[in-house]
Chains A and B, each alone.
Chain A
Amino acid sequence: MNILRYKNYFFALSLLIIIPGIFALFTWGLKLGIDFEGGTLWEVRFPDQQNQVLPSDVSSSITQSGVEVSQASSTGNNTVILRLKVTDESKIKEIKDKVNQKFGKTEDVRLDTVGPTISRELTQKALLAVGISILAIVFFISWSFRKVPKPTSSIAFGVCTIFALVHDIIVVAGIFAILGHFANIEIDSLFITALLTVIGFSVHDTIVVFDRVRENLIKHSGYSFEEVVNHSLTQTLGRSLNTSLTAIFVLVALFLFGGETIKTFVLALLVGIVSGTYSSIFNAAPLLVVWNKISQNRQQKVKNSN
């Protein structure tokens, strides 16, 4: 099976997702949840109301008391979820009393408030964590592949791993920027967690493929670099797909049955793991071949000019 022959198609497919993703990231950006922007998320149930309470009714009664409601939607079972631009406890109590008076007994399903200092700290920490993980992994890969045999350098392995990793981050972030714009899906601190986990997984997959390349380079020294990489890919393909499949099984189970609060988180993981498997087989390894070709051509030129 010659996987590498189609490498340009694989690159094209990646670009097909990445380009709209980048476009979405730059025009709309990610829709930030209260973790990053501050504010209050209140999910409230009206157990005594016979008719369905309309989110817009609740929202307008809150707006009357001078608090901005940035979002209101129904989550079924006479439950309304509201996002408020307020963090002050006494103000929240005032709003709750008001809603209580108007719509009868209320039951807090969930109430999250994140103050401005906390959200600022969280954003800084999240960015720092992503940065440090990428750095730590680059170091680890370069160290782990330090004894890679000729004609490649360990830098090539490191850089190609990072390429695959950045690919996955952009795919996940891009898809969530699109989802944020069209489906109102917000990202919270768990999204960052998902992103970091995806980074770990993506590298996980790439390592398995590269590890086999490393082994085969020693074993089959008579073959061309491209042949060795292709051989390694076909050997590890079963494993890569099967591993992803098992991860996808459990994540789909979590997505369907695991409850509302972690749905976005699981979705981010799901997208990331599919992307991670794809990028390690169809991007990282072919890139290694492209890298090798370019550096060989350069060496050839140097030789010819001598």
Chain B
Amino acid sequence: MYKKPRLALLFIIVLTLLGIYINLPKIHIFGKTVQHPKIITSFIKRDLEPKLGLDLAGGVQLTMSADMTGIDPKDQDTALESAKNVIENRINSLGVAEAVVQTAKTKNQSRLIIEIPGISDIDQAIATVRTTAHLEFKTLKKEALIDATASANPANFEVTGLTGKDLKRALAQPSKDPQSPGYAVSLEFNGDGAKKLEEITKNNLNQPMGMFLDDNPISWPPPNIRAVISDGNAVISGNFDSQSARQLAVQLNAGALPIPLKIESQTRVGPTIGQEAIQKSILATIIGLASVAFFMIFYYRILGVFAVSALFIYTILIFSVFKLIPVTLTLAGIAGFVLSIGMAVDANILIFERMKEELSWGKPKHEALFAGFDRAWSSIRDSNISSLITTAILFEFGTGSIRGFALTLAIGILISMFSAITVTRNLLKFFWVGKI
């Protein structure tokens, strides 16, 4: 590539234009919204809006510890998974788009980490998340029985007294019934539950049985009771594939294996402070960039101009990468990026200092250029590796904002090697040395 500076230059220009294009925000002109065309957005399966972390968007992060006492060790993973699922559904019902619920297990502690960015009523969100799931089995009201279409309306169902407390566990498994192949969900009830179930199935034979989690129907339309069940083992079969069967089992287990959740730590950020933080960090980034650019041009003159061009290309590229991965931007993450600006010019400073030396020894431009890049390489490589080691360790041991910082710094270091070496070198070859 280096043998053909024209080609290399073309490559850099194309890459930069692509970067600018990715960075363009949605534009509103004449009442129309101009967006990135489908080609890119369908390739990465989402839009290219920047992802903002909690401290920039406002919102809440909760770390909740799950109280697993009283839950059979072999059911604990299922219980946690179900709790996660329930919380996800509840947050979605609040109309929050980008909430994330993660499970985190350590040796003796199971946790759920919940992030809800951009929510205004945090107290309400916490209350919604905290309540334990309530599962109820319902049958049709007597007065609704005459109406054939009644079973389509969840409001026509009434409580039976059979609840999640009576259910031991639910399990998705391949169907044993030859008439409905595929998958089925088997339910195992405890002693009390078995008695209640026998009663219900006897009285409602060939009627639908609705299952409601937090008052929302699951598995709708409801399955029909096809036989009297007296041993407490029921099977729901129908049009299930492995995934939908699993989904139903998870929802049933949320009721069967309710785990009390305790808020262990939380971070709430008001919406106004997030907005302020965005403006401040944009300002800080611009001032940081400008002062570095000014210094480089002031000190290295024409060489500095090339370094600054490379720095701008660097900034364009890094934001494209942030958008493409996507990296969730936090304050600490932005600090990592701003710090990497300093690192990005560091490689250039190393090279330029070396070139100045070589020039002062009377070498011609193209030889000084070659020597500068060649000799500075080992220091650039070694020092960047040591920084990458620390970012890797930070990423491994850190949580939240620490990871954000480590990630942006590491991406910054990697891209800066490209911009400070490949980009600057080719710019210099083409515009400074002249055609070779």
Contacts and interface: CB of A to CB of B under 8 A. Distances in A.
Interface of A: 45, 87, 89, 93, 107-115, 117-118, 121-122, 125-126, 128-129, 132-133, 136-137, 140-141, 144, 189-190, 192-193, 196-197, 199-201, 203-205, 207-208, 211-212, 215, 235-236, 238-239, 242-243, 245-247, 249-251, 253-254, 256-259, 261-262, 265-266, 269
**Top 6 A-B pairs, shortest CB-CB distance:** A250-B288, A247-B342, A200-B390, A115-B264, A204-B383, A253-B288
Given A113-B265, A262-B335, 7 more contacts: A115-B263, A137-B389, A140-B386, A207-B386, A246-B345, A254-B284, A258-B280
B143 interface: no
15 contacts: A109-B272, A117-B264, A118-B265, A128-B397, A133-B393, A189-B399, A200-B389, A201-B387, A215-B375, A235-B353, A239-B349, A242-B349, A250-B339, A253-B288, A254-B335
Contact of B332 (A193, A242, A247): A193
B339 A246 contact: no
Determine the main DSSP class of A at the interface with B.
helix
A249 B288 contact: yes
B374 to A, nearest CB: 12
A245 to B, nearest CB: 6
B210 interface: no
Contacts of B106: 121
Taking each of A89, A117, A258, which has the highest tally of chain B beta carbons within 10 Å of its own beta carbon?
A258
Contacts of B277: 259, 261
A238 to B, nearest CB: 5
B265 to A, nearest CB: 4
A242 to B, nearest CB: 5
A147 to B, nearest CB: 11
A163 B126 CA distance: 49
Contacts of A203: 383, 386
B210 to A, nearest CB: 33
Nearest to A116: B264
Nearest to B385: A140
B122 interface: yes
Contacts of B281: 258-259
A265 B335 contact: yes
A29 B273 CA distance: 32
Given A110-B270, A199-B390, A258-B281, A243 B342 contact: yes
A30 B280 CA distance: 29
B357 interface: yes
Interface string B273-301: 10011001101110111011001100100
Interface string B336-368: 001101110110011001000100000000000
